[in-house]
Structures are given as structure tokens and as C-alpha cells.
Amino acid sequence: MSMLAEGLAYFGRFGVDETLLQAALERALARGGDYAELYFEHRVAHEVGLEDGAVNRAFLHVSLGVGVRVLKGDQTGYAYTEELTRDRVCEAAATAAVVADGPASPAPRAFEVRGRPDRYPVKLDFEGVDIARKMPILSEVNALAFARDASVSKVTVGYADSDGAMLVVDSTGHVAFDRQPMARLTVGCVAERAGRRESNHHNLAGREGFEFFTPERIRKVACDAVDRTVFCFDATTAPAGEMPVVLAAGSAGILLHEAIGHGMEADFNRKGVSVYSDKLGKRIAGDEITIVDDGTQPHARGAINVDDEGVEGQRTVLVENGVLRSYMHDRISAKHYGVEPTGNGRRQSFRDPPLPRMRSTYMMPGSVPPEDIVKSVKRGVFAETFTNGQVMIGAGDFTFYIKTGYLIEDGRLTRPIKDTNIIGNGPQCLERTDLVGTDFKIDEGGWTCGKDGQSVPVSIGMPTVRVSAITVGGVN
């Protein structure tokens, strides 16, 4: 079945047909827009929760609508409707059309359908899985967590699944349809020892069907949550000041996401407000550093078959052997820079216009054995797990929060540390990333990136690396 047929078969039950597409695009272009696009979305999400030993809460969310975008140069008109009737969709199109002010542009006469990759085939559709089959997963996580350590006193478990369907139809006649599943398992843990309490969270996520919830993942998320909580009893805040920091392979990719990723989203560069605005083609890091933003990893949380403008998700090399090669583009910025879009045009929902956004962002492995990287540090911090980060695009200052790690003294991991923020400057931090490990890991955590009030799922990955000097926000 072609993507148009597939898309219309899906959205047909809400009254969407080819004449509605035609009429809405005509209306959208009625004032001379250069480009118009309809983004239909239907999303059904389930959550189930366990607290105090009982699986006793469930949540069901349904979201349906169409967003209409009209572009005139790099100017955007945007409106949406949650009623998919011909009148309402045409009204939204007329609202978005006001960004232009001239004679009508031609609407497409026929729709062209291209193939799409299948990076997250689903074996067990969530729609066919009764809540009674989901509940034992939460009970199992709870039992495993309490069995893991006698100090555990509270456990919460969250199960979440989501099935999103989207159909993009644009004024060039291009059509894309995709089904985007997401599975996630979250554990919160509190432990008590000698009158002290510590807490932590852990979660795993991926674009898979119900088959995501394997016994291995259930065990891993429960045990890791407990281990990371109990770890905190022996940990204290890190020391304060500038020092070398070794980032463990995996979720340390949050550093790339903040230090370089956002600054290389092309909208910020098109506007001249990114610290990387004049760095294309220039050396910004050492020879050994190659950074990729990738939508093609099978079942990764940040994987996309097509982006939310209908462009195929792809692997984009941002930094190659230290040289800045490409920004991440949506259609607007690609046109501005005269390049092909890179498949980074993403949005939270039909209520939002797409923006250049990351997918799965990671650094390629290097040549140094990870144990040698730790050995190379006289006094510093080994950062192992993380919760969140943020960046100021223009100044380049960024932060990320270390939940757990170790002090490094004379090349060895010594005192456990926790709850310490790190602050640095993106370009400077890349220059100071001087050792890159041979190991490499994509983190399976449920990372979510926020920009302009819109959240999208992303993945991050990293080999072990050393940053020779960065400010550690601890206490002396």
C-alpha cells in the first residue's frame, strides 16, 4: 500500500480524504505562500502506575488534529484545528495563509509518494495489549527492587506506551505517513539507612511495541534504580572549582547535546544568534572528534523514519575529525543555506510548527582505552549518571547535572559523589576534550529535549572522554 493510501486508510475514519487535502492546500496558498503543508496526527497513549505496592492508577490520553503551515520566504504562518472536518481544516488553512499577501500560488494536482525506511517495526501493537498484561510488569519491577536491597523503603513504577500516526502532505505534492511507537519504563526508589534517606530514579525507553518490556530490561531498570539510590549513602557533593572531568560512556552524551547540539540547530545560525554561527568549515575540536546526529538507529528513542516535514530521517555528520561540517536543518533553514534538509524538522505535536531538532546525538569512539583515561587524571571527577542539562545558545555556556560519580585521585576512582552540576562553555569544552575512549554506548534512557516550549524524544551516546578543565559546581 502506498503511503498516501496507508495514510488515508488511517485518517479516513476521521473524515480525511483526498478532496479535503486538495481544498485545504488550495486555501493555504490562496494568498501567495511559497509552500504549504498539512500535518495530521492521532496519538493514543497509555500510562499505568504502581505506588506502595499496588498497580492502582491508569491514564489514557487521546490527541487528534491537523496543523497547517504556510511559508513565505522564511516567514511562517501556523494554525491548527482539532476537528478534522473540511470546513475547520480550511479555516485553519486560511488563518495560516495570512503570512503572505499576494495572488494565489498553485496547489498540487497530484500527490507523489516515496518509500520510507522501517527503523522501528512493531511486533506487538499496543492497541492489542490489554491492561491486564501490562500490570505484571510493574509488580515485577517492584518485587525486584525490594529484593535488591534491604534498605529500600519506597518504590514507584511507571509504565508508558504511545502510538502516534502522522500524515504529512505538502504543496509540492509530497506525502509521508508514519507510525511512531514509544515504550517507556520508569522506576523511582527511596532507601533508608540509619535514619538517612536517599532517592533516585531510572528509566528506559525505545521506539518499540509491547515487546520492549523484556525480562532483561525489567530486571535492569529495577536493579539499576536501586543500586543508584543506595550508592548515594556513601556519596557527597563534589569539590568546587575548575578541574579535569572524565565522562563515562553512554548518557554523558548529554554534554554533546547541550555543548554543541543546540548551537548547531540551523535556525539559531540562520538568525545569527548561535555561538557556532560563523564556524561552518572551521576547526572547532581535536582531530579525533567526530560528532553525529542520527535518525537511523533501529528502535532508538530518537530514531525517525521521516521527520515531521516528511523528510527522511538520516545520519548527519556535524563535526568530522574536529571540523564543523553541517548544521541540523529543517526546510526553512535548508532553503536559507541552499542545502538539502537533513531530516531534523521535528515538532511536539500538530499544535506546533516544526523546528530543527536533534534525534540521536553521539560522539564516535576514539583510540584511547577507557581505563587509561581515568589513569591520566591526578585529581578530578568521574561523571557516571546524569539527570538534565541546559544551554545558552549565543554565549555558549551550558550545564549538565551529575547524579552520581566518583572523585579521581592519582588515577583511581575514590570517593563517591552525587548531585553536582557542571558548567562550561561549549566551544571551549570541545577544544578541551582531549582524550576519546575506544568504548561507545548509546544510552537507552528516556531523554526528552525541550526547545521553544516543545518537547521531543531524543537519544544520546558517548565514548569515555576527558575534558581537561571545566568548572565543577560542588562545595569546598
Partner 1 sequence: MPTSMTENTLLTQAKDAARLAQKLGADDARVGVSRSRGVEVEWRDGRLERVQERTRRGLSVELFVDGRYAAMSTNDLRPSAVEAFLTEAVAMTRVLEPDEHRRLPDPARYAGRAAVDLDLADASQAAVTSEQRRASAEQLEALLRARSANAPIVSVTSAVEDDSGESARVHTNGFEGVRQGTHFSRSVQVTLIDQDGRRPMGWAYTVRRHQAELEAAETIVDRARDMALRQLGAGKLATGKYTLVVDRQSVPRLLGAFLGPLSGAALQQKRSLWDGKLGERIASPLLTIVDEPHKIRGLGSALWDGDGFATHRRAIIEAGVLKTYLIDDYYARKMGVEPTGGSTHNFEWALGTRDADGLVADVGEGVYIDRFLGGNSNGTTGEISMGCAGRVIRGGRLCEPVAEVNLAGHFGEIWQALVAVGNDPDPNSSAAAPTCVFEGIQLSGV
Which residues in the 270-329 window bind partner 1 by CB under 8 A? 271-275, 277-278
Distance, CA of 275 to CA of 278 (rounded, Å):
8
Residue type present at position 373:
I
Q: Quick one: which segment of 80-88, 158-166, 170-178, 362-370 binds partner 1 (CB under 8 A)? A: 80-88
H-helix segments, 289-395: 331-337, 370-375
Residue 412 has a CB neighbour count (10 Å cut-off) of 12
Q: Quick one: which segment of 1-9, 293-301, 392-400, 406-414 binds partner 1 (CB under 8 A)? A: 392-400
Biggest CA–CA distance in the chain, Å, is 76
Q: With respect to partner 1, which residue has the nearer C-beta, 130 or 410?
A: 130
Residue 383 touches partner 1, criterion: CB under 8 A: no
Q: With respect to partner 1, which residue has the nearer C-beta, 132 or 194?
A: 132
Residue 431 touches partner 1, criterion: CB under 8 A: no
One-character DSSP codes across 24-68: HHHHHTTT--SEEEEEEEEEEEEEEEEETTEEEEEEEEEEEEEEE
Q: With respect to partner 1, which residue has the nearer C-beta, 3 or 332?
A: 332
Q: Quick one: which segment of 91-99, 178-186, 360-368, 376-384 binds partner 1 (CB under 8 A)? A: 91-99
One-character DSSP codes across 364-412: ---SB-HHHHHHT-SEEEEEEEEEEEEE-TTT-EEEEEEEEEEEEETTE
360 Cβ partners below 8 Å, 6+ apart? 293, 294, 295, 297, 300, 301, 302, 303, 442, 458, 459, 460, 461
Closest CA to 167 of 95, 129, 111: 111
Q: Where are the beta strands (DSSP E) in 108-193?
A: 112-113, 152-170, 174-193
Closest CA to 426 of 401, 396, 460, 470: 396
- What's the closest the beta carbon of residue 439 comes to partner 1, in angstroms? 26
Residue 151 touches partner 1, criterion: CB under 8 A: no
Residue 156 touches partner 1, criterion: CB under 8 A: yes
Determine which residue in the list 6, 38, 66, 81 makes contact with partner 1, applying CB under 8 A: 81
Q: Is 278 exposed, middle or buried (0-12, 13-18, 19+ CB in 10 A)?
A: exposed
Q: With respect to partner 1, which residue has the nearer C-beta, 110 or 475?
A: 475
Element of type H or E holding 203? strand 196-206
- Residues 40-69, interacting with partner 1 (CB under 8 A): 48, 51-52, 54-65
Q: Quick one: which segment of 30-38, 168-176, 320-328, 413-421 binds partner 1 (CB under 8 A)? A: 413-421
Helices 131-148 and 215-230: crossing angle in degrees, nearest 10, is 40
- What's the closest the beta carbon of residue 28 comes to partner 1, in angstroms? 13
Residue 194 touches partner 1, criterion: CB under 8 A: no
- Residues 206-265, interacting with partner 1 (CB under 8 A): 232, 237, 240-242, 258
Q: With respect to partner 1, which residue has the nearer C-beta, 259 or 306?
A: 259
Q: With respect to partner 1, which residue has the nearer C-beta, 95 or 290?
A: 95
Q: Pattern of binders to partner 1 over 114-133, x per CB under 8 A?
A: ----------------xxx-
- Residues 457-476, interacting with partner 1 (CB under 8 A): 471-476
Q: How many residues bind partner 1 (CB under 8 A)?
A: 86
CA 271-276-280 angle, to 5 degrees, is 100
Q: With respect to partner 1, which residue has the nearer C-beta, 113 or 129?
A: 129
Q: With respect to partner 1, which residue has the nearer C-beta, 77 or 446?
A: 77
- What's the closest the beta carbon of residue 390 comes to partner 1, in angstroms? 3
